[in-house]
Amino acid sequence: FSTLYNTYKFFALYANVDGFTGTEPQVKLSERPEIDRWILSLLNSLVVEVETALDDYEPTRAARAIDTFVNDNLSNWYVRLNRKRFWAGEMDNDKLSAYQTLYACLKTVAQLMAPYAPFYADRLYADLMAPSLENSGYASVHLSDFPEADTTAIDKALEERMSLAQV
């Protein structure tokens, strides 16, 4: 959990400074940088993988997939390679895209891990949702809908290219 916690703390630090709430108009996927499209593709592939594993009564496989996504891809690649985007001066589309991408990843991970770490997932979800206006009546992560994969965001060729770059 320490890697996920550190990733959230990084996000929260800069989001608070810049006043990001999660309610800003979404940057279209096609207008986002390739690295954002890559992590969102992996995120949606993760949702499919977790749902499949849970449907097959294999919770360990699902939990390991979440762990791999957070440790290997979200923290060690996405956040590391995008720190400068969060440090940029003004809130332009590139910086907004970085915030929205990391926010979506953290929120979805909280929802996916809720069956495994109910209290931690609820705290992470509550902290993420607190600044948003849509959350005026907070509901627990356990009352949110389980994430559904956006198959239009999955780009296996992009995932493969990034996998090769990581070697």
pLDDT tens by residue, 108-136: 999 999 999 999 999 999 999 887 655 55
- pTM for the model stands at 0.94
Residues 130-157 as b or e (16 or more Cβ within 10 Å = b): eeeeebeeeeebeeeeebebeeebbbee
- Predicted confidence at residue 98, as pLDDT, reads 97
Domain spanning 2-17+27-166: CATH superfamily: Isoleucyl-tRNA Synthetase; Domain 1 (1.10.730.10)
* Paired tokens of 72: 């290997």
> What is the secondary structure of 101-128 as a DSSP string?
HHHHHHHHHHHHHTTTSHHHHHHHHHHH
What are 14-28's pLDDT values in tens digits?
Answer: 999 999 998 899 999
